[in-house]
Structure 1
Amino acid sequence: MLSTPISTASEPLLDVRGLKTWIPTRRGEVRAVDGIDLRVHAGEVIGLVGESGCGKTLAAYSVLGLLPPPARVIAGEIRFRGDDLCRRSAEERRRLRGSAMAMIFQEPLSALNPVFPIGSQVGDILRRHSTLSARQVKVRVLELLDHVGIASPGHVARAYPFQLSGGMRQRVLIAMAISCSPQLLIADEPTTALDATVQAQILDLLQRLVEQAGIAMILISHDLAVVAEMCRRVYVMYAGRIVEHSEVAAVFARPRHPYTSALLRCMPALKQDDSPLETIEGVVPALTEPEPGCRFRPRCRYAVTLCSDQDPAATELGGGRLAACHRATELGLPGTPTAVGADA
């Protein structure tokens, strides 16, 4: 299990330890999240990256208490402000969700109710989690829509989700997420399916909101370039486990896990020449009965016999860096010459 060193500056706002979220199926238990550790301090933005299906979103749902049945947390702690949420009732977690912590979902059109106008949906959160009067709710809805850069908040408040562009719907989800001034915001692929211009606008908006309100944020993405723009630290996840944790700039300069290095080689934004775009050969292993040893071994060009026989323990690499790789200290894995992430 990969354990994150405790910051000496302060106790984390969110402290996840040994989290296991499994899904029962006819073929056995899918170990979708299998013993991860993750910490976020107040006002900090961290990245959680990995391929689709690696468990990023399910880990977020575990934190928020939004797991779809039959998925369930079978082990671990989820401490928020020092309180273990796994010991709280569903109603206690519901009250916490939306007020102290919130999420920006990946698919805005699916996350919004198609039969209610935007203003009603934003206002519903305020009615549930605040003591504002009906009139105050209406005023606050317009303020929120304006705050996230919507030019005509009154018009948008009366509109339905299908009448808005993808970028506009994403701004609405952000307005809903920040409506009750949460301390922790989880953004799940917030720029998916948006064009480059709108993507940059959404990232700028999130950056501004985090800086102004001091919100802690977990940015979930498969795109290291996006994480480099927003985050100082990054957790790299593969097949249900955290395989590397480091400062973003250090990951770009010298990744210490073969999977992280492979992700960097696959990023179009980081290519320096006209050579073909690389891919990671093979497929993610089935997580019902994982084979012994490193889960990345079948796809790893650096694998040795030990990788098949023994699960790699976390290797402390100094400066808070950790990598779950038997060869983390000996491999000179290629990074990227780009300066992306240097100032993250």
Structure 2
Amino acid sequence: MPSDYPELIADDDYPDPSPEELGVGALFAEAPEPFHDLLAPPTEAIDELLPLMPQRTAAPQTWVVTVADAKFHWYDLVAGFPEIPDIRDPVGRHLRRMQFDLEATMEKRLIYFAVNRPRVRFDASRSTSWGFFSLKLTVPILVGADEKRDSITIELEVPFAATLKKPSVVVTDRFITLNWGGLIEALSIHDVLQQYENSLTFQSKVQYVGQTKDPVGRLARARLAAVQKIHQLHSEDNDMLLLIQRMNVEVISDDGDPAELPANDNPVAADVLLKDRIDIVECALIRYFEGPMMHGRSDKEAEIRKQRLREAQAANHLESFRIDLRLEDPGKYHDLFSQHAPVSRNHIIDCTIVDGEVLVTRVPEKTKS
């Protein structure tokens, strides 16, 4: 991090205030916490599904877990419980697309990280400027809680649908709108920082690890107590984003991957096997980024996770697994760290499960999976 920008992400304070102390407790009483999904359903609830349950194999398994795709969403834009965006407005369309993306995750078993980054805004009080004979646009920005003045220069490309060679530009604190005549683009400050080269070298601090599967869809509506509490604690000096990742699990076993058996070619069997895998991956990433004490999580959740790990490990005869969070073309936003994990774009973790506890070992970056 450049020396002229101080460390802007404060360490966690102890103890954490409750949702009630933060004034948001009443918002979260509508459903149990998502980790209750880790509990096995009552027998009578699955009787009719028994013929569709997966066929298991007996040989020991090892897994290699990689990230199939990953995308950041700016959580602050939904955390204030805004009204439904006006889709006739370019910024409103941008917000609605993000809401649709987040709402679509509620039926999927994806991993998300709630991350903090130092606060950055466009400076709407100063003017943008164009380079001579080019589409290089210099945009003033404000960095950090003290709103240090800076700027970024981005080189635009004319979109296919444009009818103008150079767009008209409108800047607010969070969005820049580019009107190309036949097309209007709206980009948030974090879209711009991810898509265009710039000199900012901040890292993304992982505060919380979760799984998106939740029929109530509370993550997209900012109704998930644990995530909203983190937002309340850190929103003054930091921005908060969700890094949502689809994981690929390669099963190495003498009996092959159970998911490829013809008997498991139905949605119920496929989901049960996927649930085993993502539940285990989620628990391992919680342990890696949040530490052994899982600060901020209840004793009840810790015990439920132990029980779930024991069951899933036994059902899959799982001996060990590796999680490789590397991407083919990572950007600066993928410089991830936490209180328990060092800054890196190349987090590789070897994991074993012992009596319901995940033991994690970080693999040195020079080692390849």
TM over 0.5: no
* Structure of higher RCO (CA pairs closer than 8 Å, 6+ residues apart): 2
Q: Which structure has the larger Rg over C-alpha atoms?
A: 2
Q: How does the TM-score come out when normalised to structure 2?
A: 0.26
Q: Considering fraction of residues, name the structure with more helix.
A: 1
Q: Considering fraction of residues, name the structure with more strand.
A: 2
Q: How does the TM-score come out when normalised to structure 1?
A: 0.27
